[in-house]
Each structure stands twice: as C-alpha cells, then as structure tokens.
C-alpha cells in the first residue's frame, strides 16, 4: 500500500498555480471530467471514479484534519467500470456523487490536482506519493509542505474533509 501525504485547499488562484506547474516543467497528465460515486461503508471511504484519464475503485482512510495528513489508499483499476458500478450499487447504498473537472500534473512523485467541483467551487490538492514504501513518511510530508509554501497555500485555505463530506453536508442543509 503506497504512503501518501496530502492536502486539499480552497483556491481561486488556479491560473497562477497552473503557471507555476508549467514553469517547473510538471508533467501534464490531462484534464479529466470525473464522476466519483461514493458508497456508504462502515469505515473509511469507498468511491468509484469514472473519468477519461483515471478510472479507479478507491478505498481510503485518513483523518479529517486541515493539516497535511497521511492517507491509506487501496486502488483497483477495473476493465469495465459500468459493470463494477452495477455490482457496487447492488451491495452498497450510494452516499453521494461528486462531479468535477480535474487537471492532473506530476513533479517527480508529487501529484497536483486543480479541481473545479460542481456545486463547491475550485480547489487544489497536493499528494506526495511513495509507491514503493522506500521513503520515510517525513520525506513525503516535507515534500507536501514544501509545495504548499511554493504555491502560497495558506493554512486557512486547507480543507479537512473530502468533497463527498461537503456534498453530503449540502444535501442535509437543503
């Protein structure tokens, strides 16, 4: 299981962040229209991501803190996501659906998402990823913190919860 240190932050500076990433010769993976279907589970989060660039079944667990946090993630890349969604809908109730457009960039082992989330606004995510578990967690945490500084992400912009939590909160308020 890969180690991940990550943050999510509100941002109205996506153009500035995009320019920084391009100036750093970040590898652009693409712009993806992603539909994330979250399912009700007893612990953690389970979502089926259906996109043009990334399609995955993702289980993850992480604390709800605004600071950089350690995530435990299990990832499965299905051959046919529509069949998988049919099966998941038979065994789990849907919690919510998150509809977003995501630009995906990489600098070495660090992944950057520039997200426009329907009904929520614009965000940036930084994920420092150790796929091999060869790095100490402190190293990827330092990478995450370093890019927060480089991108001028203020602690007050950090989000402690997932997009699904924000959508569910909106649904309950309506």
Per-residue pLDDT, 134: 86
Give dist(CA 58, CA 77) in Å, integer.
9
CATH of 3-173 given 2.40.320.10, 3.20.20.70, 3.40.50.720, 3.40.50.300:
2.40.320.10
Helices then strands, counting H and E runs in the chain, come out as 4, 8
Handedness of CA 63, 68, 72, 73 (dihedral sign): positive
Handedness of CA 21, 32, 11, 38 (dihedral sign): negative
Domain boundaries, the chain: 3-173
- What's the pTM? 0.94
List, for residues 146-158, the tens digit of each pLDDT value.
999 999 999 999 9
Give dist(CA 95, CA 123) in Å, integer.
22
Per-residue pLDDT, 132: 85
Give dist(CA 113, CA 116) in Å, integer.
10
Task: Give the three-class secondary structure for 80.
Answer: coil
List, for residues 81-137, the tens digit of each pLDDT value.
999 999 999 999 999 999 999 999 999 999 999 999 999 999 999 999 998 888 889
75 has a pLDDT exceeding 90 = yes
């Amino acid at each position: 299981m890969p180690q991940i240190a990550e943050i999510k932050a509100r941002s109205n500076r996506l153009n500035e962040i995009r320019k920084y990433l391009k100036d750093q010769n970040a590898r652009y993976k693409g712009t993806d229209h992603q539909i994330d279907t979250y399912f009700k589970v007893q612990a953690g989060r389970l979502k089926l991501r259906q996109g043009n660039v990334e399609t995955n079944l993702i289980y993850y667990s992480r604390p709800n803190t605004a600071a950089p946090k350690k995530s435990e993630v299990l990832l499965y890349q299905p051959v046919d996501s529509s069949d998988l969604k049919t099966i998941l809908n038979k065994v789990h109730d849907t919690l919510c659906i998150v509809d977003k457009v995501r630009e995906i960039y990489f600098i070495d082992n660090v992944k950057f998402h520039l997200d426009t989330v329907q009904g929520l606004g614009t965000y940036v995510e930084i994920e420092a990823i150790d796929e091999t578990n060869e790095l100490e967690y402190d190293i990827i945490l330092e990478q995450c913190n370093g890019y927060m500084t480089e991108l001028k992400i203020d602690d007050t912009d950090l989000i402690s919860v997932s997009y699904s939590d924000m959508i569910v909160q909106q649904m309950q308020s309506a």
